[in-house]
Structure 1
Amino acid sequence: MDAPRTPAPGPTGRRTFLATALGLTAGAVVVTAAEAHASPAPGRPAGAGALGQQQWRFCTKCYGMFYYGYPQDGVCPAGGAHTQAGYNFDLPHDVPEHAHAQANWRFCVRCYGMFYFGYPSGGWCPLGGSHSAAGFNFVLPHDVVETPYAQAYWRFCTKCYGLFFWGYPAKGRCPAGAEHNAAGFNFVLPHT
């Protein structure tokens, strides 16, 4: 996944920042659905640096996480291309998995969505069949406190294996039909 739309800062200090952030924010998430959002927030503190790969965005049509770094915006299960809004997520990759960070999250080269690649099946892609993994092995933080620089309520869908935003009453559009179905961890994703 090269050629991002805008140059992103290098990964200098990402492990230090991630370790510090996760160590300081470990605990239960206590946020109501009404407090959840997918809109811009103030910038990160000066010198925070990048955690991993930026240009991951919320799709307003399917509520999924997709990569916004190419001239095309992938394929949305709600029809057409994904439509981005909200934060520019900065997702850690190729770092060790631990009690509050799950590995095996991947980019699908067919739909540009983020999906879990830890099962024998690759889930369900909007283009039919399984997602097709490429690029980095993303290691996503979960079950830590939401902060001004990390958004909670991102969940795994049991039907398509995609990552979707669970903070609204509606649950988006799943490529396997109807709305997404949440299970597992409450991912709390860093953003700029």
Structure 2
Amino acid sequence: MLTVNWSQTDWRFCGQCYCLVRLGDAKNRCSLGSRTHWLIGWNFRLDYTKDYGPHAGETPHKQSAWLRCSYCAVLYYKDFGGSCPGRAGAVHKTTVPFVQFLVPHDVNPVPRDRQSRWRFCTKCSAMYFDGYAPDRGVCRGNGTLGHAPAGNVFQLPIYHY
């Protein structure tokens, strides 16, 4: 089993598109028009591996193959291209070198230091918060319908409130 020695903080919720975002550049664009992300709420911490192999570091309750898009700054699932607002709807793109984030999911009961209800969107491939359903934020790949949830229910570790 892989021991993760690295983690990254400063992952935040965007109050416009509902995606999980880590800004690194002022040009990073939100799905809501040409605006930048509006970061609010908790600060999350994600473990990662520097192994570039397919699905490196996965366990029964941690999924890898999650990357940070260099253009829109969201966490997206690399097995599906998605739709990036920073690239006019083209697929998300990560510059090399990249790391694969290991995102915890389906742990019951949910640990007290985690927020649940984070989901994968089948239209844009981003990680988004589904806790306000039926309002599902703004999705570049799904127009005004918001994000389209599928798969695991992710539980993000809270770094600080």
Shorter-chain TM band: 0.7 to 0.9
Aligned with 1:102 (options 63, 66, 80): 63
Q: Which residue is equivalent to 1:72?
A: 26
Map 1:73-88 to 2 at 5 A: 74-79=28-33, 80-88=35-43
CA distance in 1, matches of 2:7, 2:74: 17
Q: Which residue is equivalent to 1:172?
A: 137
**Where in structure 1 are there 5+ consecutive unaligned residues?**
1-13, 17-50
**Which residue identity does 2:152 align to in structure 1?**
F
CA RMSD of aligned residues (A): 1.8
1:149 CA displacement? 1.4
**Where in structure 2 are there 5+ consecutive unaligned residues?**
50-55
Q: Taking structure 1 as reference, are residues 73 and 168 closer, same or farther at Cα in structure 2, changes over 3 Å only?
A: farther
Q: Which residue is equivalent to 1:132?
A: 93
**Which secondary structure state, in structure 2, belongs to the residue aligned with residue 133 of structure 1?**
coil
1:15 CA displacement? 4.2
1:128 CA displacement? 1.8
State whether structure 2 residue 9 is matched by structure 1 residue 54. Answer: yes
CA distance in 2, matches of 1:71, 1:141: 26
**Which secondary structure state, in structure 2, belongs to the residue aligned with residue 188 of structure 1?**
strand
Q: Equivalent pairs: percent with the same residue?
A: 37
- Once the two structures are superposed, what CA deviation does each residue of 1:105-154 show, in whole Å capped at 9, x if it has no partner? 000001011100024xx111013200002421001000013233111000
The two structures have a TM-score, normalised by structure 1, of: 0.69
The question of whether the paired residues in 2 share the 8 Å contact of 1:57 and 1:86 is answered with yes
Structure richer in strand, relative to its length: 2
Q: Which residue is equivalent to 1:155?
A: 119
CA distance in 2, matches of 1:63, 1:96: 27
CA distance in 1, matches of 2:47, 2:25: 23
CA distance in 1, matches of 2:89, 2:27: 17
CA distance in 2, matches of 1:89, 1:73: 22
